[in-house]
Structure 1
């Protein structure tokens, strides 16, 4: 599990591309290497990846075909910056909200504004996720825990404070960029449960006619 509080950004040090499998390598700072072992989970742009190799301070992760299909990791190049978060441990402060690191879809940046000491970014809503987005609800974008400030039928907006812009890649985000989106799991569970109850009720009503 993750909390959506990004530890830092890191540049991609190397990408080894195989058929339907990419291996991404990063040079980790000493603080992030403490306790890190093979098989550990790390969120890269919000996508939960498994540590597959540790060679000194160089840490590598494999991304399989499904991860490449549904996330923006497939578009990364050497030198590109990514958001990084180590997995949460029992006793850690939950500063954001609980995340699984399982990306649901990508959202496209369609507008950016820069009010004083703020940045507003507007995203196109993936059609299949519209029911899970609510104003003032939680969403994770490239692994960053955020609150939806504005929601329209086909778009939503979030605001970034200077500190978030400093420690994440959103300081450089531009129109046309694709970001990884994970909806809030509790919201998803409630919405899906209500949908199932309504479907069951409709089926029962028809059977009783």
Structure 2
């Protein structure tokens, strides 16, 4: 489990695919591997991945993940290129501060960036969701974008907007998005449960 509070960014240094399995290798801060164990879970752009290898290289940490075909189909990980930055969060420990909301790391779908409105102090981004997921995105509700816990602003049809403070832009990879870029989306599980329950009760 995660909180949606991004701890750092890491750089993609390899993303080789062999027989529909990607070996994803990232380079990040040395602190990322402190007390890390093989088999641990790390959220990479919000997607829960298992650590299969890690080591220190000079003043950096190098972490290997295996990404299966199912994960590649539902996330933006298959579109990553060498040099791209991904958002990183270590898994939640008992007693940690819950600064965002409970995030599972199980990506539901991707959304594309359709509009950016930015001033010196404010930034609003609008994303287009697949139509079947729009019922789970509500104004003032939670949503996770590339692993970042955010509050939904406006919702119009299958488009939704989030409003970002400079701190969020500086600590995450949202600032590097270009128009049409795909982001990983995890909808709030409580919202999904409530909507699905109400729909079943109407049958």
Same fold (TM over 0.5): yes
Query: CA offsets per residue over residues 12-47 of structure 1, 9 Å max, x none?
Result: 022222111101111232211111111000000000
Deviation beyond 4 Å, 4+ runs, structure 1: none
In terms of fraction of residues, the more strand-rich structure is 2
What is aligned with 2:72? 68
Task: Identify which of 152, 168, 172 aligns with 1:168.
Answer: 172
1:53-202 correspondence runs (5 A)? 53-56=53-56, 57-199=61-203
Match of 1:42 in 2: 42
In structure 1, distance between residues paired with 2:10 and 2:176: 14
Alignment partner, residue 27 of structure 1? 27
**Shift, 1:125, TM fit:** 2.2
| CA-atom RMSD in angstroms | 1.0
Q: Is the 8 A contact 1:112 1:174 kept in 2?
A: no
Counterpart of 1:136 in 2: which secondary structure?
Answer: coil
CA drift at 1:142: 0.4
Count of paired positions: 199
State the secondary structure of the residue aligned to 1:116: coil
How far does residue 48 in structure 1 lie from its aligned partner after superposition? 0.4
Q: Which runs of 5+ in 2 are unaligned?
A: none
- Which is richer in helix? 1
The 3-state SS of whatever aligns with 1:12 is strand
Of 111-120 and 43-52, more deviation after overlay is shown by 111-120
Residues 116-165 of structure 1, C-alpha deviations (whole Å, 9 max, x = no match):
31111001122111111110000000000000111001211001100000
8 Å contact 1:109–1:122 — kept in the other structure?
Answer: yes
Partner SS for 2:43: strand
Separation in 2 of the partners of 1:170 and 1:47? 16
Question: Which is higher, the Rg of structure 1 or of structure 2?
Answer: 1
CA distance in structure 1 between the aligned counterparts of 2:25 and 2:129, rounded to whole angstroms: 31
* TM-score (structure 2 length as normaliser): 0.95
Contact 2:10/2:29 (CA < 8 Å) preserved in 1? no
d(CA) in 2 for partners of 1:5 and 1:142?
11
1:174 Cα deviation after fit: 1.6
